Amino acid sequence: MLRDGLFLVGPMGAGKTTIGRQLANVLHREFKDSDHEIVRRTGASIPLIFDIEGEEGFRRRESEVIADLSAEKNLVLATGGGAVLREENRRHLRERGVVIYLFASIDQLLKRTSRDRNRPLLQTADPRGTLEELMRVRDPLYRETADMVLYTDDRSVRSVIKEILIRLDELAAESERADKA
């Protein structure tokens, strides 16, 4: 039996929100973004939460949101880039859905995030160095959590979604074979 939720993980700028919205549309599912849900629940921007509560306060809020949203049915969820840092988040995602790691190169991530001021971890003199360090820590966690890894560099949203759909069909077939065994 294939798990219900579809959860997108990966670094900021990998395409989780853009691809997630379109994927949800194609599959006639609801779409939610954990960062947007945190903002909705708190009434505060993510940079403001970081300023007031620090990264630890933000991560606590993020874990609460992921615990809630990952339990919903027929949902496509885009998680924040650091969601995999906490074991409880990784466990919820693995147990409750299919985890899709959207991977992009550092160059692509820089290009996609360079003008976005809503990314507190990149408000630094060396965004490339920051992204390289984040990926050094997080890439193994993304891979450990994911059921599939998709590269998004220089690809259209449509081609990534097409690959996700093919791989979901393959996972469903594997799951069905396992259930019969």
Which uninterrupted H or E stretch holds 75?
strand 75-78
pLDDT of 148 strictly over 70: yes
Q: What is the mean pLDDT of residues 75-102?
A: 96
pLDDT of residue 110: 85
Lowest-confidence segment of 31-45, 111-125, 132-146 by average pLDDT: 111-125
pLDDT of residue 127: 78
**Which of 85, 88, 102 is closest to 147 using CA atoms?**
102
Q: What is the mean pLDDT of residues 45-50?
A: 90
pLDDT of 52 strictly over 70: yes
pLDDT of residue 131: 86
Q: What is the mean pLDDT of residues 24-38?
A: 96
Residues 6 or more apart whose Cβ sits within 8 Å of residue 177: none
From CA 137, how far away is CA 95, in angstroms rounded?
Answer: 22
pLDDT of 123 strictly over 80: no
pLDDT of 2 strictly over 70: no
Domain that holds residue 150: 5-180
pLDDT of 119 strictly over 80: no
Check residue 76 and report its DSSP letter. Answer: E
- pLDDT confidence of 121, banded at 50, 70, 90? low
Number of compact structural domains in the chain: 1
Specify the 3-state DSSP secondary structure of 98: strand
**Residues 16, 78 contacting (CB under 8 angstroms):** yes
**Which of 150, 145, 107 is closest to 16 using CA atoms?**
150
**Which of 107, 99, 44 is closest to 66 using CA atoms?**
99
55 vs 69, more confident = 69
pLDDT of 124 strictly over 80: no
Residues 6 or more apart whose Cβ sits within 8 Å of residue 62: 34, 35, 38, 80, 82, 83, 86, 89
Residue the block writes with tokens 């971890």 = 121
Check residue 161 and report its DSSP letter. Answer: H
- pLDDT confidence of 122, banded at 50, 70, 90? low
CATH code for the domain of 86? 3.40.50.300
The amino acid occupying position 27 is L
Residue the block writes with tokens 């919820």 = 92
Q: What is the mean pLDDT of residues 18-30?
A: 96
From CA 60, how far away is CA 42, in angstroms rounded?
Answer: 13
From CA 123, how far away is CA 91, in angstroms rounded?
Answer: 30
**Residues 150, 101 contacting (CB under 8 angstroms):** yes
- pLDDT confidence of 1, banded at 50, 70, 90? very low
